[in-house]
Amino acid sequence: MPSLKSHVVSFVLRYSRKKAFSSPENLQRWIAAARRTEDHHPPASLHQRFNIEMRAVDGFAVYEIAPRAGVRKRILYLHGGAYVFEITPYHWHLIADMADRLGYAITVPIYPIAPEHDFHAMFGMVGEVYRRMLEETEPEDIVFVGDSAGGNMAVVLTMMAAKEGQPLPSRHVLISPGLDVSLANPEVFEAERNDPWLGIAGGREAIRLYSAGMDPADWHISPVYGDLSVLPKTLLLTGSRDLLTPDNLIFAQKARAAGVEVEVIYEEGMFHVWPLIDMPESRRARERIAAFLSESRPPIRQGKRTGLEAPSAEAAQ
Protein backbone atom coordinates (compact mmCIF):
# COMPACT_ATOMS: atom_id res chain seq x y z
CA MET A 1 0.00 0.00 0.00
CA PRO A 2 1.47 3.39 -0.97
CA SER A 3 2.70 5.50 1.92
CA LEU A 4 0.94 8.64 3.13
CA LYS A 5 3.89 10.73 2.01
CA SER A 6 3.69 9.31 -1.51
CA HIS A 7 0.05 10.41 -1.69
CA VAL A 8 1.01 13.92 -0.57
CA VAL A 9 3.85 14.14 -3.10
CA SER A 10 1.56 12.86 -5.85
CA PHE A 11 -1.04 15.51 -5.00
CA VAL A 12 1.55 18.30 -5.06
CA LEU A 13 2.97 17.10 -8.39
CA ARG A 14 -0.44 16.97 -10.06
CA TYR A 15 -1.18 20.59 -9.15
CA SER A 16 2.28 21.94 -9.86
CA ARG A 17 4.80 20.09 -12.04
CA LYS A 18 2.22 18.44 -14.29
CA LYS A 19 1.33 21.88 -15.62
CA ALA A 20 4.75 22.01 -17.30
CA PHE A 21 3.84 19.01 -19.43
CA SER A 22 0.24 19.97 -20.20
CA SER A 23 1.08 21.80 -23.46
CA PRO A 24 4.05 22.84 -25.63
CA GLU A 25 3.53 26.45 -24.58
CA ASN A 26 3.60 25.58 -20.89
CA LEU A 27 6.77 23.57 -21.30
CA GLN A 28 8.44 26.51 -23.03
CA ARG A 29 7.38 28.80 -20.18
CA TRP A 30 8.74 26.39 -17.55
CA ILE A 31 12.04 26.11 -19.42
CA ALA A 32 12.38 29.90 -19.55
CA ALA A 33 11.62 30.18 -15.83
CA ALA A 34 14.04 27.36 -14.99
CA ARG A 35 16.90 29.05 -16.79
CA ARG A 36 16.67 31.99 -14.37
CA THR A 37 17.16 29.82 -11.28
CA GLU A 38 18.91 26.57 -12.27
CA ASP A 39 22.21 25.82 -10.54
CA HIS A 40 24.06 22.61 -11.37
CA HIS A 41 26.53 22.83 -8.47
CA PRO A 42 26.29 20.12 -5.80
CA PRO A 43 24.68 21.38 -2.57
CA ALA A 44 27.10 22.62 0.07
CA SER A 45 26.20 19.68 2.32
CA LEU A 46 27.71 17.27 -0.23
CA HIS A 47 30.99 19.15 -0.28
CA GLN A 48 31.14 18.73 3.48
CA ARG A 49 30.73 14.94 3.17
CA PHE A 50 32.67 14.08 0.01
CA ASN A 51 35.74 15.04 -1.94
CA ILE A 52 34.20 16.54 -5.10
CA GLU A 53 36.21 17.85 -8.02
CA MET A 54 35.00 19.58 -11.18
CA ARG A 55 36.56 19.45 -14.64
CA ALA A 56 35.36 20.48 -18.07
CA VAL A 57 34.57 18.33 -21.10
CA ASP A 58 33.63 20.14 -24.31
CA GLY A 59 33.10 23.26 -22.22
CA PHE A 60 30.61 21.63 -19.82
CA ALA A 61 31.11 20.73 -16.17
CA VAL A 62 31.74 17.18 -15.02
CA TYR A 63 31.72 16.49 -11.29
CA GLU A 64 33.76 13.66 -9.79
CA ILE A 65 32.94 12.26 -6.36
CA ALA A 66 36.04 10.48 -5.09
CA PRO A 67 35.74 6.79 -4.21
CA ARG A 68 36.19 5.26 -0.78
CA ALA A 69 39.76 4.01 -0.22
CA GLY A 70 40.38 0.73 -2.03
CA VAL A 71 37.18 0.85 -4.16
CA ARG A 72 37.66 0.55 -7.92
CA LYS A 73 34.09 0.69 -9.17
CA ARG A 74 32.71 3.80 -10.81
CA ILE A 75 29.23 5.05 -11.66
CA LEU A 76 28.41 7.28 -14.62
CA TYR A 77 25.24 9.06 -13.45
CA LEU A 78 23.06 10.61 -16.17
CA HIS A 79 20.40 12.85 -14.66
CA GLY A 80 16.85 13.24 -15.90
CA GLY A 81 14.93 16.39 -16.80
CA ALA A 82 13.20 15.65 -20.11
CA TYR A 83 16.41 16.75 -21.92
CA VAL A 84 15.46 20.37 -21.17
CA PHE A 85 15.93 20.80 -17.41
CA GLU A 86 19.14 20.86 -15.39
CA ILE A 87 20.20 18.52 -12.59
CA THR A 88 18.35 19.20 -9.29
CA PRO A 89 19.08 18.75 -5.58
CA TYR A 90 16.91 15.61 -5.69
CA HIS A 91 19.39 14.03 -8.09
CA TRP A 92 22.32 15.14 -5.96
CA HIS A 93 20.83 13.63 -2.81
CA LEU A 94 20.32 10.28 -4.58
CA ILE A 95 23.91 10.45 -5.85
CA ALA A 96 25.14 11.19 -2.33
CA ASP A 97 23.16 8.26 -0.94
CA MET A 98 24.74 5.93 -3.50
CA ALA A 99 28.19 7.28 -2.63
CA ASP A 100 27.49 6.64 1.06
CA ARG A 101 26.10 3.15 0.54
CA LEU A 102 28.64 1.91 -2.02
CA GLY A 103 31.73 4.06 -1.74
CA TYR A 104 32.10 4.08 -5.54
CA ALA A 105 33.51 6.96 -7.54
CA ILE A 106 30.64 8.77 -9.24
CA THR A 107 30.99 10.79 -12.43
CA VAL A 108 28.20 13.32 -13.05
CA PRO A 109 28.27 15.13 -16.41
CA ILE A 110 26.30 18.37 -16.62
CA TYR A 111 25.55 17.68 -20.24
CA PRO A 112 24.20 20.25 -22.74
CA ILE A 113 20.41 20.44 -22.75
CA ALA A 114 17.72 21.58 -25.18
CA PRO A 115 16.57 23.88 -26.66
CA GLU A 116 20.00 25.52 -26.58
CA HIS A 117 21.56 22.19 -27.68
CA ASP A 118 20.34 18.92 -29.19
CA PHE A 119 20.99 15.18 -29.35
CA HIS A 120 24.31 15.56 -31.15
CA ALA A 121 25.77 17.96 -28.60
CA MET A 122 24.51 15.85 -25.68
CA PHE A 123 25.98 12.59 -26.90
CA GLY A 124 29.10 14.25 -28.20
CA MET A 125 29.77 15.38 -24.65
CA VAL A 126 28.69 12.27 -22.69
CA GLY A 127 30.42 10.04 -25.25
CA GLU A 128 33.67 11.88 -24.57
CA VAL A 129 33.10 11.55 -20.82
CA TYR A 130 32.74 7.79 -21.22
CA ARG A 131 35.83 7.52 -23.43
CA ARG A 132 37.87 9.31 -20.76
CA MET A 133 36.45 7.01 -18.09
CA LEU A 134 37.63 4.01 -20.10
CA GLU A 135 41.15 5.45 -20.09
CA GLU A 136 41.12 5.47 -16.30
CA THR A 137 38.85 2.57 -15.27
CA GLU A 138 38.33 -1.02 -16.44
CA PRO A 139 34.96 -1.36 -18.18
CA GLU A 140 33.90 -4.19 -15.86
CA ASP A 141 34.18 -1.65 -13.03
CA ILE A 142 31.91 0.92 -14.74
CA VAL A 143 28.13 1.03 -14.35
CA PHE A 144 25.63 3.42 -15.90
CA VAL A 145 22.85 4.82 -13.71
CA GLY A 146 20.22 7.11 -15.20
CA ASP A 147 16.77 8.40 -14.32
CA SER A 148 14.04 9.40 -16.78
CA ALA A 149 15.76 10.99 -19.80
CA GLY A 150 19.07 9.92 -18.25
CA GLY A 151 17.89 6.30 -18.34
CA ASN A 152 17.26 6.68 -22.06
CA MET A 153 20.73 8.19 -22.46
CA ALA A 154 22.36 5.32 -20.57
CA VAL A 155 20.86 2.76 -22.97
CA VAL A 156 21.60 4.81 -26.09
CA LEU A 157 25.17 5.50 -24.97
CA THR A 158 25.79 1.78 -24.51
CA MET A 159 24.31 1.02 -27.94
CA MET A 160 26.48 3.72 -29.54
CA ALA A 161 29.58 2.38 -27.76
CA ALA A 162 28.75 -1.14 -29.00
CA LYS A 163 28.42 0.10 -32.57
CA GLU A 164 31.81 1.80 -32.28
CA GLY A 165 33.44 -1.33 -30.88
CA GLN A 166 34.16 0.19 -27.47
CA PRO A 167 34.11 -1.82 -24.23
CA LEU A 168 30.71 -1.71 -22.58
CA PRO A 169 29.67 -0.97 -18.99
CA SER A 170 29.06 -3.92 -16.73
CA ARG A 171 25.58 -2.95 -15.52
CA HIS A 172 22.69 -0.55 -15.97
CA VAL A 173 20.35 0.90 -13.38
CA LEU A 174 17.42 2.59 -15.12
CA ILE A 175 15.02 4.63 -12.96
CA SER A 176 11.73 5.39 -14.74
CA PRO A 177 13.52 5.57 -18.11
CA GLY A 178 11.95 6.99 -21.25
CA LEU A 179 12.70 4.26 -23.79
CA ASP A 180 10.09 4.81 -26.51
CA VAL A 181 8.98 8.31 -27.54
CA SER A 182 7.20 7.15 -30.70
CA LEU A 183 3.82 6.85 -28.90
CA ALA A 184 3.21 3.65 -30.84
CA ASN A 185 1.85 1.95 -27.73
CA PRO A 186 -1.79 3.00 -27.10
CA GLU A 187 -1.48 2.01 -23.42
CA VAL A 188 0.61 5.14 -22.87
CA PHE A 189 -2.43 7.36 -23.45
CA GLU A 190 -4.41 5.52 -20.78
CA ALA A 191 -1.43 5.63 -18.41
CA GLU A 192 -1.24 9.42 -18.77
CA ARG A 193 -4.56 9.76 -16.97
CA ASN A 194 -3.12 8.18 -13.83
CA ASP A 195 0.24 9.97 -13.98
CA PRO A 196 0.39 12.94 -11.58
CA TRP A 197 3.49 14.39 -13.21
CA LEU A 198 4.09 13.72 -16.90
CA GLY A 199 1.96 14.68 -19.87
CA ILE A 200 2.16 13.67 -23.51
CA ALA A 201 1.75 17.15 -25.04
CA GLY A 202 4.68 18.67 -23.15
CA GLY A 203 6.72 15.50 -23.53
CA ARG A 204 6.34 15.67 -27.29
CA GLU A 205 7.61 19.24 -27.26
CA ALA A 206 10.66 18.25 -25.20
CA ILE A 207 11.48 15.51 -27.69
CA ARG A 208 11.03 17.91 -30.61
CA LEU A 209 13.49 20.34 -29.05
CA TYR A 210 16.02 17.59 -28.32
CA SER A 211 15.85 15.12 -31.18
CA ALA A 212 17.53 17.11 -33.97
CA GLY A 213 14.78 16.15 -36.41
CA MET A 214 15.27 12.40 -36.05
CA ASP A 215 12.35 9.98 -36.44
CA PRO A 216 10.86 9.21 -33.00
CA ALA A 217 11.21 5.50 -33.82
CA ASP A 218 14.95 5.86 -34.47
CA TRP A 219 16.82 3.85 -31.83
CA HIS A 220 18.97 6.87 -31.03
CA ILE A 221 15.80 8.48 -29.64
CA SER A 222 13.73 5.40 -28.75
CA PRO A 223 16.26 2.68 -27.84
CA VAL A 224 13.55 0.03 -27.45
CA TYR A 225 13.89 -0.30 -31.26
CA GLY A 226 17.65 -0.83 -31.18
CA ASP A 227 19.86 -3.89 -30.72
CA LEU A 228 19.04 -4.76 -27.12
CA SER A 229 21.34 -7.78 -27.13
CA VAL A 230 24.36 -5.52 -26.47
CA LEU A 231 22.99 -4.32 -23.11
CA PRO A 232 24.47 -5.45 -19.79
CA LYS A 233 22.64 -6.89 -16.80
CA THR A 234 19.96 -4.33 -15.95
CA LEU A 235 17.88 -3.23 -12.99
CA LEU A 236 14.82 -1.27 -14.12
CA LEU A 237 12.58 0.57 -11.66
CA THR A 238 9.12 1.69 -12.72
CA GLY A 239 5.79 2.50 -11.08
CA SER A 240 2.12 1.90 -11.75
CA ARG A 241 1.34 5.65 -12.02
CA ASP A 242 4.02 6.52 -14.58
CA LEU A 243 2.99 6.97 -18.22
CA LEU A 244 6.38 5.52 -19.23
CA THR A 245 5.69 2.19 -17.51
CA PRO A 246 3.84 0.40 -20.35
CA ASP A 247 6.85 0.95 -22.62
CA ASN A 248 9.26 0.00 -19.84
CA LEU A 249 7.58 -3.38 -19.42
CA ILE A 250 7.73 -3.97 -23.17
CA PHE A 251 11.43 -3.02 -23.14
CA ALA A 252 12.08 -5.55 -20.37
CA GLN A 253 10.32 -8.31 -22.34
CA LYS A 254 12.22 -7.51 -25.53
CA ALA A 255 15.56 -7.26 -23.73
CA ARG A 256 15.02 -10.64 -22.06
CA ALA A 257 14.10 -12.15 -25.42
CA ALA A 258 17.41 -10.76 -26.74
CA GLY A 259 19.29 -12.56 -23.96
CA VAL A 260 19.71 -9.69 -21.49
CA GLU A 261 19.26 -10.35 -17.78
CA VAL A 262 16.71 -7.76 -16.60
CA GLU A 263 15.28 -7.36 -13.12
CA VAL A 264 12.23 -5.11 -12.88
CA ILE A 265 11.10 -3.41 -9.70
CA TYR A 266 7.46 -2.52 -10.24
CA GLU A 267 6.12 -0.41 -7.39
CA GLU A 268 2.35 -0.21 -7.10
CA GLY A 269 1.08 3.36 -6.71
CA MET A 270 4.40 4.98 -7.58
CA PHE A 271 4.87 7.86 -9.97
CA HIS A 272 7.77 8.96 -12.18
CA VAL A 273 11.29 8.76 -10.64
CA TRP A 274 9.96 8.11 -7.15
CA PRO A 275 13.36 6.83 -5.87
CA LEU A 276 14.63 10.44 -5.97
CA ILE A 277 12.16 11.57 -3.28
CA ASP A 278 12.63 10.75 0.39
CA MET A 279 9.80 8.40 1.39
CA PRO A 280 9.46 4.72 2.38
CA GLU A 281 9.17 3.47 -1.21
CA SER A 282 12.33 5.28 -2.29
CA ARG A 283 14.29 3.87 0.63
CA ARG A 284 13.34 0.34 -0.46
CA ALA A 285 14.32 1.16 -4.04
CA ARG A 286 17.69 2.57 -3.01
CA GLU A 287 18.44 -0.51 -0.94
CA ARG A 288 17.78 -2.71 -3.97
CA ILE A 289 19.91 -0.49 -6.23
CA ALA A 290 22.82 -0.70 -3.80
CA ALA A 291 22.44 -4.47 -3.49
CA PHE A 292 22.31 -4.87 -7.27
CA LEU A 293 25.46 -2.82 -7.79
CA SER A 294 27.28 -4.62 -4.95
CA GLU A 295 26.96 -8.05 -6.56
CA SER A 296 30.07 -9.74 -7.96
CA ARG A 297 31.50 -8.39 -11.17
CA PRO A 298 30.41 -9.92 -14.49
CA PRO A 299 32.93 -10.72 -17.24
CA ILE A 300 33.96 -7.88 -19.55
CA ARG A 301 31.79 -7.32 -22.64
CA GLN A 302 33.15 -5.80 -25.83
CA GLY A 303 31.00 -3.83 -28.21
CA LYS A 304 30.15 -5.14 -31.66
CA ARG A 305 31.05 -3.16 -34.71
CA THR A 306 27.71 -4.08 -36.29
CA GLY A 307 25.82 -2.29 -34.51
CA LEU A 308 9.99 -6.94 -6.71
CA GLU A 309 9.43 -8.64 -9.82
CA ALA A 310 7.22 -6.82 -12.27
CA PRO A 311 4.09 -8.24 -13.82
CA SER A 312 4.08 -8.89 -17.54
CA ALA A 313 3.03 -6.07 -19.82
CA GLU A 314 -0.36 -7.77 -20.22
CA ALA A 315 -0.88 -8.34 -16.50
CA ALA A 316 0.05 -4.76 -15.69
CA GLN A 317 -2.81 -3.38 -17.73
- Decide if pLDDT at 312 tops 60: no
Cα distance between residue 266 and residue 229, in whole Å: 22
Smallest CA-to-CA distance from 310 within 270, 258, 283 is with 270
Domain assignments of the chain as residue spans, ordered by start: 4-294
pLDDT of residue 317: 33
Cα distance between residue 61 and residue 172, in whole Å: 23
pLDDT of residue 54: 98
Smallest CA-to-CA distance from 143 within 72, 83, 89, 87 is with 72
Q: Read off the pTM.
A: 0.93
* pLDDT confidence bin for 124, thresholds 50/70/90: very high
Reported as a single tens digit per residue, the pLDDT across 137-190 is: 999 999 999 999 999 999 999 999 999 999 999 999 999 999 999 999 999 999
Residue 93 vs residues 16, 45, 83, 98: alpha-carbon distances, Å: 22, 10, 20, 9
Please name the residues in contact with 9: beta carbons below 8 A apart, sequence gap of 6 or more. Answer: 271, 277, 279
- Decide if pLDDT at 109 tops 60: yes
Reported as a single tens digit per residue, the pLDDT across 23-66 is: 999 999 999 999 999 999 999 999 999 999 999 999 999 999 99
- How do 142-147 and 74-78 pair as beta strands? parallel
Write out the CATH class of domain 4-294.
alpha beta
Reported as a single tens digit per residue, the pLDDT across 268-282 is: 999 999 999 999 999
